[in-house]
Structure formats: structure tokens, C-alpha cells
Amino acid sequence: MSRRLEARTAIIFGAGSVGPGWGNGKATAVTFARAGAHVVCVDAVEAAAAETVAIITAEGGSAEAAACDVLDSERVRALVDGVAEARGRIDVLHNNVGYAQMGGPIELTEADWHRAIDLNVTSCFITCKHVLPHMLKQGAGSITNVSSVAAIRWVGYPYVAYYAAKAAVNNFTQGLALQYARDGIRVNAIMPGLMNTPLIFQQISGQYADPAEMVRARDAACPMGRMGTAWDIANAALFLNSDEAAYITGISLAVDGGLTARAA
């Protein structure tokens, strides 16, 4: 892999995996490190962040782990300021925290609704709030927010709060991109399609008779005949945060094997 992020500092929120295997944040952290970045792997679960760091350091990469509740603004501020002080700059912010709960307005409680909005959207607001001052000071930076194709269409599941939250992530991304375009800061979103990651076994498998049926159904629903992997998201994130994407900002990139290109 080319060293496209050589000597850069990247913070990834949601850098662990919720179960065995490769989640989007975990794969992205490893990919960034392979590309030469020092990666600050942040997760709500300390052991998950540490696992990602162990993989990176075993490969000879540079990384550190941090446990942080992404909705705790003061803790996020302290973490971000600490990284900036220690490393001298923050080049990349990657927001991978997300959450989906099944249900429409009838089934969901108001607390359920707020949790989905907070974990998907407010998390991005808080991290950007504290990272942007450092990027403005240095006159450069790149931010990627992980959204979903659920932001732009129905994907077969009744999770109305997730649809609303991810649509908000896309528009939040576009607004930031235009606000800071003349400051050397680029902001883009990635919209995963139907992916085969540990998260689906935790948050989506209950919609099917068993996990094997879920995998078969999701594979069949993809134009390519298979779900994507965490590495597909990681490679998109690497591109968007590299110099090759220097003239790309404000986009919401679908990484979905053609899912959203299909009319039905």
C-alpha cells in the first residue's frame, strides 16, 4: 500500500469492533496506519480500541488507544486537545460512530429516538466542534463522516430514526464542507450499503429467522450478488482523506455495489 497518509495524525471515533471480525472503524484504522498515519483509535469500549491498536503495532504501525464517550463533550475536547498538543496537529478526523434501532414512531420511545439522533448526528457535531479549531489554526484538514445509503432511501428495515439521522449526517457534512471550503478543510461522507460486518449480527439479525438467512438475503439484495466488507469502507476513507481527493469536498459517496443505482 502506498504511504498516502505519511506522517499525518488521524483520529478515528468508533475505531473498535462490536464483535469478532472487521468492523468499518477497525479496518479504517488499520488502513490509515498502513498508509503511514499515526492513528488515535477512540472507542467507547477501551478493550475494543486496544485490540485495534495491537493489530496496528504488530504490523509496525503507529497508534494509540483512547476510551471516550463521544457524547461527552468535555472528554472529547480534552482528548482532541491532548492529541493536538502531543502531535502538533490533527490532519484527519474520521467519525465512525453509529447506531440503529428497529421501529417506527409508534414502536420507538422518545428516548430511543434521541439516542439514535445523538449517536449518529450529535456525535459528529461534538467531534467537529473540538477538532475544527485545530484544523483552522493549521489551515488544513480532512473530515469524513460515516453515513449510510439509508440516508437517501428505504433499505428494507423499519428503523425510522436511523433514516432520519443518516440523512442529517449527509446534510451536516455538506454544510460544513461549504462553510470551511476556503479554509483548507475538506468534509465528506461515506454511505455504506449492505455490508457484512459484526454490527449487522448485533443490530439487524433479529429481522431474520437466523443469521445465515440474513446473510443470504442481504447478499441476494446486492446487484453484485454479495455484501461489501469493512475494507471497502476503509479504502474509500483512505482515498477521501488523501491528497488524491484534494478537490473533493461536500460529497456523500455511496459504497454499495450499485444498490442505490438501481431503481428497485
Domain CATH for 110: 3.40.50.720
Residue type (1 letter), 165: A
pTM of the model: 0.96
Residue 138 lies inside a defined structural domain of this protein: yes
Collect all residues with Cβ–Cβ distance below 8 Å to 147 and sequence separation of at least 6: 166, 169, 170, 173, 189, 190, 191, 192, 252
Residues involved in catalysis = 162
**Residue bearing cell 462553510:** 179
Domain that holds residue 77: 9-196+229-254
Q: State the total domains in the chain.
A: 1
Supply the pLDDT for residue 245: 98
User: How many CA atoms within 13 Å lie on the side-chain side of 46?
Assistant: 1
Q: Residue 185: inside a domain, yes or no?
A: yes
- Would residue 3 count as lying in a domain? no
Write down the residue that cell numbers 459528529 correspond to: 124
What's the rounded Cα separation, in Å, for the pair 65 and 257?
32
pLDDT at 2: 79
Q: 215 in a domain, yes or no? A: no
- The per-residue pLDDT for 1 is 59
Residue pLDDT, tens place only, 19-73: 889 999 999 999 999 999 999 999 999 999 999 999 999 999 999 999 999 999 9
Q: Supply the pLDDT for residue 205.
A: 85
Domain annotation covers residue 31: yes
Sign of the CA dihedral running 38, 41, 47, 52: negative
Assigned domain for 53 exists = yes
Residue 144 domain-assigned (yes or no):
yes
Question: Is residue 148, in this structure, part of any structural domain at all?
Answer: yes
pLDDT for 45 equals 97
Tens-digit pLDDT string for the chain (264 aa): 578 999 999 999 999 998 889 999 999 999 999 999 999 999 999 999 999 999 999 999 999 999 999 999 999 999 999 999 999 999 999 999 999 999 999 999 999 999 999 999 999 999 999 999 999 999 999 999 999 999 999 999 999 999 999 999 999 999 999 999 999 999 999 999 999 999 889 888 889 989 999 999 999 999 999 999 999 999 999 999 999 999 999 999 999 999 999 865
Predicted local confidence at residue 150, as pLDDT: 97
Mind listing the pLDDT tens digit for each residue in 76-98?
A: 999 999 999 999 999 999 999 99
